[in-house]
Structure 1
Amino acid sequence: MTTAVSRKASHSMALVALFAALMAVMGLIPKIDLPLGVPITLQSLGVMLAGCLLGARRGFQAMLLFLAAVAAGLPLLAGGRGGLGVFMAPSAGYLVGYALAAGVTGALMRLLPQGTPLRTAASAFAASVLGGLVFLHAMGIAGLVLLAQMPLDKALLADLVFVPGDLVKCVLCAVVVHTVARALPDWPFGGRER
């Protein structure tokens, strides 16, 4: 029994590390800088994928590991940024929201219906929209208000520029989940026990 527990724990740690590394790889994709100090990056897709594929707990852990590496100074954010200073920038609300949004996305994915690959993909889209877009954007808007001293109405308006791209990322997340569901029908989406 000890071997089974240690194998499960090792598997879980490997998945957490793998998704933290995936976030780092997504940081290699060039960012698009915006005047408000928050760039457009591919990394929010990693948040959505971590929640949908790993579940709330492991998705949260993967993003927390990634953020710890960034805080330690590794240049893992898009554009080669890293260090504690990025947590004081206007984009800090989005960064802090990565771990929480992965947790929310994973919790929603666990609750939503699954069964067929198409239903699972539809659930992944819904979980990504609610957790990886709505929740993450709410965290980002809070960061703009608190750190950039931006009025709430202007922060809401500034955040709208990210919505179309993040909706595309929600679709991409659903496509990946659909592919995984077809190839690995026993995958525990949202951290469900099989």
Structure 2
Amino acid sequence: MKTKEITKIAIMISIIIVLGFFPPIPIGLLPVPIVIQNAGFMLSGLLLGKKNGTISTVLFLLLVALGFPLLAGGRGGLMVFFSVTAGYLIAYPFASFLIGWMTEKFNPNNKGVFAAFVITFLFGVVFIDFLGAVGISLISNVSLSNSLIASLAFIPGDIIKAFITAILARRISKTLNKKG
């Protein structure tokens, strides 16, 4: 792995950490709050591709597992992987991989914001929210159908995050391509 790739991975991990500083917003429907941090996992796939985007996400989650309080709300440690947010945490590396893979295949160099948005919506928003709902259902003994219905509360905000992420990825890619 080249130094440039390692640097991009480290910067992406830093971005994800900074996004965790935004306080989580609790909602009444689910025991899971609204967070901005999941936009970082989507961005990692868009900007770094399937391999390096997944590596950045896995390394971030490894830091969390080691006990660093890097998740939104200052959470960390192994127990977060056994809490109601487990489905979301498990979904993040897969989402980064899928977003990166689809971006490399259908939207190389983030040439189109619309394509990046569709990829991010399908493999970021829908995929993450679905696995998150499955996790909530398994851990909190809520039926899957009720968990999925309650998870619809996240969709409007996640659509906005996916759109902003697609725009940011396009602008960052454009800037990086200009600088070589």
Checking the alignment, whether the CA contact within 8 Å between 2:49 and 2:104 is kept in structure 1 is: yes
Aligned counterpart, 1:85 = 79
Aligned counterpart, 1:191 = none
* TM-superposed deviation, 1:184: 3.1
Checking the alignment, whether the CA contact within 8 Å between 1:180 and 1:187 is kept in structure 2 is: no
Checking the alignment, whether the CA contact within 8 Å between 2:91 and 2:132 is kept in structure 1 is: yes
Q: How does 1:117-136 map to 2 (within 5 A)?
A: 119-136=111-128
* TM-superposed deviation, 1:178: 2.5
Q: Which runs of 5+ in 1 are unaligned?
A: 1-7, 189-194
* SS of equivalent to 2:74: coil
Identify if the C-alpha distance between structure 1 residues 113 and 25 changes in structure 2 by more than 3 Å, giving closer, same or farther: closer
Q: How does 1:98-177 map to 2 (within 5 A)?
A: 98-114=92-108, 119-177=111-169
Checking the alignment, whether the CA contact within 8 Å between 2:47 and 2:173 is kept in structure 1 is: no
Q: How does 1:19-98 map to 2 (within 5 A)?
A: 19-35=12-28, 36-98=30-92
Computing the radius of gyration from Cα coordinates, the structure with the larger value is: 1
* SS of equivalent to 2:170: helix
2:170 corresponds to 1:182: no
* TM-superposed deviation, 1:186: 6.5
Q: Which ranges of 4 or more aligned residues in structure 1 deviate by more than 4 Å?
A: none
Checking the alignment, whether the CA contact within 8 Å between 2:20 and 2:70 is kept in structure 1 is: yes
* SS of equivalent to 2:141: coil
* Same amino acid, percent of matched pairs: 35
* TM-superposed deviation, 1:120: 2.4
Q: Deviations over 1:71-115 (max 9, x none)?
A: 111110111111111111111100111111111111111111457
Letter of the 2:69 partner, please give it.
Answer: P
Checking the alignment, whether the CA contact within 8 Å between 1:17 and 1:65 is kept in structure 2 is: no
Identify if the C-alpha distance between structure 1 residues 62 and 172 changes in structure 2 by more than 3 Å, giving closer, same or farther: same
Aligned counterpart, 2:3 = 10
Once the two structures are overlaid, the 10-residue window that deviates more, 179-188 or 92-101, is 179-188
Identify if the C-alpha distance between structure 1 residues 77 and 19 changes in structure 2 by more than 3 Å, giving closer, same or farther: same
* TM-score (norm: length of structure 2): 0.92
Count of aligned positions: 179
* TM-superposed deviation, 1:137: 1.3
Checking the alignment, whether the CA contact within 8 Å between 1:27 and 1:42 is kept in structure 2 is: yes
**Separation (CA, whole Å) in 2 of partners of 1:60 and 1:95:** 13
